[in-house]
Structure 1
Amino acid sequence: MFTLNYLVVGSGLFGATFAYEAAKRGNHVTVIEKRNHIAGNIYTKEIDGINVHMYGAHIFHTSMKNIWDYVNQFAEFNNYINSPVANYNGEMYNLPFNMNTFNKLWGVKTPAEAQQKIEEQKNELDFPEKPNNLEEQALSLAGTDIYEKLIKGYTEKQWGRSAKDLPSFIIRRLPFRFTYNNNYFNDRYQGIPIGGYTQIIEKMLSSDLVDVKLNTDFFAKKDEYLNAGYDKIIFTGMIDQFFNYQLGELEYRSLRFKTEEKDVDNYQGNAVVNYTDAETPYTRVIEHKHFEFGKGDKGKTIITHEYPQNWNRDKEPYYPVNNQKNKELYKQYVDLAKKEAGNVVFGGRLGQYRYYNMDQTIMAALQLVKQEFGE
């Protein structure tokens, strides 16, 4: 069998999945990673016996049994159910919007009463036939109370602009649930890997055919890598950066994390608490030990405040800003890649400029594997 030589840029879930599958087929893979650790944004680090999600909360969820079975090769998952809570100026509400939320807002007890209350609020408003922005879209779906307390402040902090300046398609549907069910996801499979996420990537990259180089920036020796004779380069960084932003910058939102140890067993009583008022500068607080049901050293807990911020070239990109302008610019970069990128394939959240859940990332990597190896 003819052995190929691959360079994978980035050791996150997309790059690691491809590297694992390529090595399994007898190919040699070099993985370079600019950070001082593997696993990209799903990197977890044990502190005080607690697996800390160093780049924000990651809950694995999927309805695809093949993807669930695939990831369970690398770790045993617990039965954690994502049930975030919203804090609006000290008022606590369950998310997604469900009967517990509606009871707290209005004192209603039945689905019919809740639906009537939402319809009453919507009928008091005068909307254009087609919503022009996110605010009009959200009000037309949820009415004033839910919008003002649970959507507006959080969304404006997250995206760094007024809801009136955000496109309506961001919030075309809202997850109303007229049951007393606090499970945020509807997916059949859900959980957190016991022992954290980093072990998954470690196992994916453990083959003798995979060489991993940390603290290695592709752009420091870009021309050298491009001319090193690799059969294929799998690039999981920003597609616009690869082309030196020659068509302009794609827009991203960045995040800043403040992680700290607290000398208490239990700081907030839930893994995820969203702060939905406009005045609080962070969007959520994560208490990591609740992902694993309180596991960790007694009298210690680790919390992370998550602050959205504008992206620039010195910051890490987290969320693509998928408005029409950026979609069109991304298409131009795709066309440029077809003409000039040669043996480079762009993959993952940044290479394909889209927000991927973890299961979608694995699925996209496996699709590339099928294309690459003709399966």
Structure 2
Amino acid sequence: MKHYDYILVGAGLYSAVIAWHAKQAGKSCLVLERRSHIGGNIYCEEIEGINVHKYGAHIFHTSDRKVWDFVNSFVEFNRYTNSPVANYKGEIYNMPFNMNTFSRMWGISTPQEAKAIIDKQKSEITGEPKNLEEQAIALVGRDIYEKLVKGYTEKQWGRDCSELPSFIIKRLPVRFTYDNNYFNDLYQGIPIGGYNKLIDALFEGADIKTGVDFLAEKEKWMSMADKVVYTGAIDEYFEYCFGKLEYRTVRFETEVLDTDNYQGVAVVNYTDRETPYTRVIEHKHFEFGTQPKTVISKEYSTDWKEGMEPYYPVNNEKNQMLYQKYREKAQQQEKVFFGGRLGEYKYYDMDKVIASAMNGWEALHR
């Protein structure tokens, strides 16, 4: 059996950045991936000539010039700007909450009018908010909460806002300008030709095996490398010895439609409670597609169960205490380095994953 400098468990963005750095350093890598493809959750599947974001919308945005220059050295990014809209029972509102939203909601036109309405509505909450509902109203007022926050959040978490802890919503961005750009970051866009181009470039030169469960033959794989970078679920690695960490997951229903333009924008959030899905993604708009057909994905938020893909860590006190136990155990491992969204039980934007992997590579050589 061939011996490697590194075995990378999981073929997502974190491992991809490590693999690239390893190649630059003249090191050999074997990548082991459970799924049938590389790229993790940024993997794109081509359908009807459209790059479909198989695991949900991924929009690259960052203010980190080092990360932006890094990704652009592999693939050119387009000028896509994230400007989602919210559909509340057929009423269309711009996101994030800005003057276009307020003008549509209240028939007003000036920032002063919007501030006066929001301030008046916020004042109904006195004292420390006791739950997410009170926290949201204290931030944006009742109208915006009822139409644009409540139903969407309850579908995401599967519980009423009055039963959710207030810390889930620390802030709700409110802009008193007519600006529909969702992100404040300096740079944003989508790789021209899809994310697979970026992933393929990062993994170039590494040996890759897909459809392989590292944990099923852990000892065998461990013997084949000097170091292991593990990006799978940290609790699963340790056989759930302290108990299972909780996640939320997302289920997708993807369909091809015989129209060139279904909703006129890449992302529509459905913010009423009655619509079962949280949002609809129309993938062609990420790359300004002009194909004769279109592909949409409806997203449903559900509790995670074994066998499902874990998406969002449930960052409450109970889970954080549990993760700390696993983290301490992980730090005692001499040969295994834990990183990425599942390895660190942390929700990461793509730019933060890349920055974390760059730091991880430095840590591997200390």
Specify the TM-score bucket, using the shorter chain as the normaliser.
over 0.9
Aligned position for 1:251: 246
Aligned position for 2:168: 170
2:13 alignment partner AA? L
Report matched runs for 1:27-38 at 5 Å.
27-38=27-38
The answer as to whether partners of 2:122 and 2:140 remain within 8 angstroms in 1 is yes
Q: Give the superposition deviation at 1:351.
A: 0.4
1:105 alignment partner AA? M
Q: Give the superposition deviation at 1:4.
A: 6.5
Q: Identify the match of residue 312 of structure 1 among 280, 289, 305.
A: 305
Aligned position for 1:14: 14
Matched residues, number: 364
Q: Give the superposition deviation at 1:294.
A: 2.5
| SS of structure 2 residue aligned to 1:71 | helix
The answer as to whether partners of 1:21 and 1:369 remain within 8 angstroms in 2 is yes
Any unmatched runs of 5+ in structure 2?
none
Distance 1:175 1:126 in 2: 18
| SS of structure 2 residue aligned to 1:254 | strand
Matched, 1:230 2:222: no
The answer as to whether partners of 1:282 and 1:308 remain within 8 angstroms in 2 is yes
In percent, how many aligned pairs have the same letter? 58
TM-score (norm 2): 0.97
1:76 alignment partner AA? E
Aligned position for 2:200: 202
The answer as to whether partners of 1:87 and 1:93 remain within 8 angstroms in 2 is yes
Aligned position for 2:331: 338
| SS of structure 2 residue aligned to 1:256 | strand
Q: Give the superposition deviation at 1:126.
A: 3.7
Q: Identify the match of residue 294 of structure 2 among 297, 301, 307.
A: 301
Aligned position for 2:349: 357
Aligned position for 2:40: 40
Matched, 1:61 2:61: yes
1:68-112 Cα distance to aligned partner (Å, 9 max, x none): 000111111000000000001111000000000001110110000
Distance 1:122 1:138 in 2: 9
Distance 2:227 2:165 in 1: 38
Distance 1:351 1:161 in 2: 27
The answer as to whether partners of 1:234 and 1:345 remain within 8 angstroms in 2 is yes
User: C-alpha root-mean-square deviation of aligned residues, in Å?
Assistant: 1.2
| SS of structure 2 residue aligned to 1:231 | strand
The answer as to whether partners of 1:16 and 1:205 remain within 8 angstroms in 2 is yes
Any unmatched runs of 5+ in structure 1?
none
Distance 1:141 1:332 in 2: 34
Q: Give the superposition deviation at 1:160.
A: 1.5
Aligned position for 2:268: 273
The answer as to whether partners of 1:45 and 1:196 remain within 8 angstroms in 2 is no
| SS of structure 1 residue aligned to 2:301 | strand
TM-score (norm 1): 0.95
1:168-192 Cα distance to aligned partner (Å, 9 max, x none): 2221111101010000000000000
1:113-163 Cα distance to aligned partner (Å, 9 max, x none): 00000011122x143x22222111101111110001000110111112221
The answer as to whether partners of 1:255 and 1:306 remain within 8 angstroms in 2 is yes
